[in-house]
């Protein structure tokens, strides 16, 4: 099978890197036809908020798609064209190419651009916001491909309810993680005098950072518990201020680090934290960090949600809790006081990851879906 991975998708985004690696692992020949359009998350937010009105932006769009068209003439033969995330705006050009070549088109939806812009980034209120246009364009785009890929049935249902897209047009491929990077570390020294808890990720609303800080405050008297936060994001300054105001001395913050350093920090942790926000995006997805920590045989405390409950069993592959600070604190103490259970869940997590969410497992699933296309 030959796949053309096409579009202006985020080339360095984990989902795209994992999906390409998974296809190659499954014996698929992957040809890349990619062109950069977006510079960063902030760039996309600025454009959505009103930057789309700038002639410089439209010249950038014209140049990007013109280069894609030129590249499309040299991609050779392929059996299926797959659009990486985000590819909703690439659909229209890709459909023309696929019609001319008489090949099926697949879109890895992953996230709704409209939902992220409106409910996660709150960009709908600006005077020249493009959010309504994004919703209209996304609805059109989702109706065009021959197959849509999504990671959870809960997100499929949301897209069905929002856009009327039939659920049977979707196939599921979990986000997973790259197990050539994320794996159990050998001879990692864990400080036996301290119970270390790791949070890493972008400091944004859907991760429920305020609830984590609330839990830390409730555990302030437990001097043998320490927290490490790794990452950056729009909420970080405010969270730092909360920690300082509450005089929480058992918390350390670090910026982004390399994936190799991150794996080492996961290995040194006794416990890792997932997401606890109540935004639609948070409730309908299983975050990357959950799979990554499972790959490293580490236990994750995750906020219970329809997506989490559908995919995992409490105290088997991870520990669930209510999305409240008090519940997070209770789950931490419960696992701290039950080291045998902690070790058992970590072992189960690693095995579940290998069986269902590794590069090998994802590649097999993705290829099987592509093979259903005419």
Per-residue model confidence as pLDDT tens for the chain (374 residues):
999 999 999 999 999 999 999 999 999 999 999 999 988 777 888 888 888 889 999 999 999 999 999 999 999 999 999 999 999 999 999 999 999 999 999 999 999 999 988 877 667 766 688 999 999 999 999 999 999 999 999 999 999 999 999 999 999 999 999 999 999 987 555 667 899 999 999 898 778 999 999 999 999 999 999 999 999 988 899 999 999 999 999 999 999 999 999 999 999 999 999 999 998 999 999 999 999 999 999 999 999 999 999 999 999 999 999 999 999 999 999 999 999 999 999 999 999 999 999 999 999 999 999 999 98
Asked, for residue 210, whether it belongs to a domain, the answer is yes
Asked, for residue 181, whether it belongs to a domain, the answer is no
Closest CA to 108 of 181, 22, 29, 27: 22
Between 325-336 and 339-356, two packed helices, what is the crossing angle to 10 degrees? 100
Backbone torsions φ then ψ of 331, nearest 5 degrees? -65, -40
> For residue 149, what are the contacts with CB-CB under 8 A and spacing of at least 6?
106, 107, 108, 109, 110, 170, 171, 172, 173, 366, 369
Asked, for residue 318, whether it belongs to a domain, the answer is yes
Segment (H or E) for 80: strand 80-83
Farthest CA pair distance, the chain: 67
Asked, for residue 49, whether it belongs to a domain, the answer is yes
Q: How many structural domains is the chain composed of?
A: 2
Asked, for residue 184, whether it belongs to a domain, the answer is no
Q: Which domain holds residue 138?
A: 2-176+358-370
Segment (H or E) for 265: helix 259-268
For residues 52 and 69, state if they share a domain.
Answer: yes
For residues 338 and 324, state if they share a domain.
Answer: yes
For residues 141 and 279, state if they share a domain.
Answer: no
For residues 200 and 321, state if they share a domain.
Answer: yes
86 upstream amide cis, omega within 30 of 0: yes
Beta strand segments in 173-261, E: 195-200, 225-230, 251-254
For residues 203 and 352, state if they share a domain.
Answer: yes
Asked, for residue 332, whether it belongs to a domain, the answer is yes
Asked, for residue 166, whether it belongs to a domain, the answer is yes
Asked, for residue 182, whether it belongs to a domain, the answer is no
For residues 84 and 172, state if they share a domain.
Answer: yes
The whole-angstrom separation of Cα 206 and Cα 209 is 8
For residues 284 and 140, state if they share a domain.
Answer: no
CATH number at residue 158: 3.40.50.2000
> For residue 274, what are the contacts with CB-CB under 8 A and spacing of at least 6?
287, 289, 290, 300, 301, 302, 303, 318
């Amino acid at each position: 099978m030959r796949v053309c991975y096409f579009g202006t998708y985020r080339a360095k985004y984990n989902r795209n890197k994992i999906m390409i690696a998974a296809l190659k692992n499954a014996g698929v020949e992957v040809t890349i036809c990619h062109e950069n359009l977006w510079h960063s998350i902030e760039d996309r937010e600025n454009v959505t908020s009103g930057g789309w009105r700038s002639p410089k932006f439209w010249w950038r769009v014209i140049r990007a798609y013109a280069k894609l068209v030129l590249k499309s003439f040299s991609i050779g033969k392929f059996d299926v064209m797959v659009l990486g995330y985000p590819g909703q705006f690439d659909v229209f050009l890709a459909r023309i190419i696929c019609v001319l070549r008489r090949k099926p088109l697949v879109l890895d939806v992953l996230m709704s651009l409209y939902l992220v812009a409106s409910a996660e980034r709150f960009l709908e209120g600006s005077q020249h916001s493009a959010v309504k246009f994004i919703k209209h364009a996304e609805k059109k785009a989702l109706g065009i491909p021959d197959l849509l890929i999504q990671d959870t049935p809960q997100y499929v249902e949301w897209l069905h309810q929002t856009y009327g897209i039939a659920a049977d047009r979707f196939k599921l491929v979990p986000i997973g993680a790259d197990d050539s990077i994320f794996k159990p570390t050998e001879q990692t020294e864990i400080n036996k005098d301290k119970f270390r808890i790791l949070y890493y990720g972008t400091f944004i609303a859907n991760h429920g950072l305020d609830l984590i800080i609330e839990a830390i405050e409730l555990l302030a008297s437990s001097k043998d518990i320490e927290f490490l936060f790794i990452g950056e994001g729009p909420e970080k300054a405010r969270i730092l201020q909360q920690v300082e105001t509450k005089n929480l001395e058992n918390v350390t913050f670090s910026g982004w680090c390399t994936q190799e350093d991150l794996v080492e920090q996961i290995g040194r942790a006794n416990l890792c934290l997932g997401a606890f926000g109540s935004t639609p995006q948070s409730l309908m997805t299983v975050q990357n960090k959950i799979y990554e920590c499972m790959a490293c045989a580490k236990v994750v405390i995750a906020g219970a949600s329809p997506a989490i409950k559908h995919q995992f069993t409490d105290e088997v592959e991870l520990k669930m809790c209510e999305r409240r600070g008090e519940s997070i604190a209770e789950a931490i103490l419960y696992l701290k006081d039950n080291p045998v259970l902690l070790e058992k869940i970590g072992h189960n997590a690693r095995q579940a990851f290998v069986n269902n969410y590794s590069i090998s497992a994802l590649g097999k699933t993705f290829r099987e879906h592509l093979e259903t296309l005419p």
